Amino acid sequence: MNVAHPYIISEMTQEIFSCEEGLTLESGEKFPQFQLSYTTQGHLSPKQDNVVWVLHALTGDANAHEWWSGLIGEDKFFNPTNHFIVCANLLGSCYGSTQPLSINPATGEPYYYDFPQLTTRDLAAAFDKLRIHLGIVKIDTLIGGSLGGQVALEWAYTLKDRLKHAVIVASNAKASPWIIGFNESQRMSIESDSTWGQKSPDAGKRGLEAARAIGMLSYRHPQTFIQSQSETEEKRDNFKISSYLRYQGKKLANRFNALSYWVLSKAMDSHDVGRGRGGTVKALSEIPCKVLAVGVDSDVLFTSEESRFISRHVPSGNYREIRSIYGHDAFLIEFEQLNYILKSFYLENIR
């Protein structure tokens, strides 16, 4: 459906963008009409020079002001009084965008396992359809962490001069075997669920619980668990960390579905900004915007060296580091450091 441009509305809006023309995927497959759920905050300025587009991580949603509350909101670094803030739910995710449980127009039934395999390039292309729909010519800042950072980097490549700043947090230019291995072990957990393969919204739910437990181990640093999950008494069983991981697994499985998790983890694996572009270094060298790559010193999933690699090979790159015991999840926790890093970056890059 067509929606009014939200820049005429002052408060936060939540909208659905329906793309009737569909999308040609990187694989060459034609994906039919799809929808993206998105939120906006603030006003689009007459010069269109205040757009901040936020990209969420694997199981995130379009409510960036909630999960990045330390950065986005009134009196925060990205303030809707000054910025027009857009955040859209990734294609394939289950928070309002077209996903495996959506109806396949070709069959009139849910896609389930027939949902196409997506890449980070496809996810960026879907967002660009929304950008055009909103009438946004230039974006001041793209910012995303983890999978959101991968998609942001892909989009930065195609946006070229239509983007001024890209902030890539705890992410990389190409998925490493380490990340792919973690994701594959999580998908193996989903596959081992006896309900996987059934055409049911709850298919793979128990497997998703196990997958999330594996994921949680990669999102934190061992020191985090030593501090928060160590035992105060001698035990042989029923450890705190065991209960914690089971709780986190159930928590995710009650708000997400295994099919979306499968699709988006595969998209994360696919990430390679240099595919078909002469390699990673060459592709990075063709991103003209100012790039801030933010690493986390304790991140064992997306290593800080991968963030440094991005900053070294784009024409205008900066690297900053978050120091934290929280590992990969620090980008969702260490708001004070992120605020300081962003302030420094923008002060250094005032044109």
Among 37, 265, 328, 329, the one annotated catalytic: 328
Q: What does DSSP say about strands 109-110 and 23-24: parallel, antiparallel, or unpaired?
A: unpaired
- The CA distance from 45 to 82, in Å, is 9
Query: Does the active-site annotation cover 328?
Result: yes
Q: Which residue has the tokens 């939540």?
A: 14
State yes or no: is 221 an active-site residue: no
What angle, rounded to 10 degrees, do the helices at 258-270 and 120-133 form?
A: 100
Q: Which residues of 63-96 are buried (b: 16+ CB within 10 A; e: fewer)?
A: bbbebbebbbbeebbbbbeebbbbbbbbbbbbbb
CA 144 to centroid of chain Cα atoms: 6
Query: Which one of 146, 260, 270, 298 is the catalytic residue?
Result: 146
Q: What is the 3-state secondary structure (H, E, C) of 123-166?
A: HHHHHHHHHHHCCCCCEEEEEEECHHHHHHHHHHHHHHHHEEEE
Q: Active site includes 299?
A: yes
Which listed residue (122, 193, 272, 299) is catalytic?
Answer: 299
Of 322, 274, 312, whose CA–CA distance to 291 is shortest?
A: 312
Residues tagged active-site: 146, 299, 328
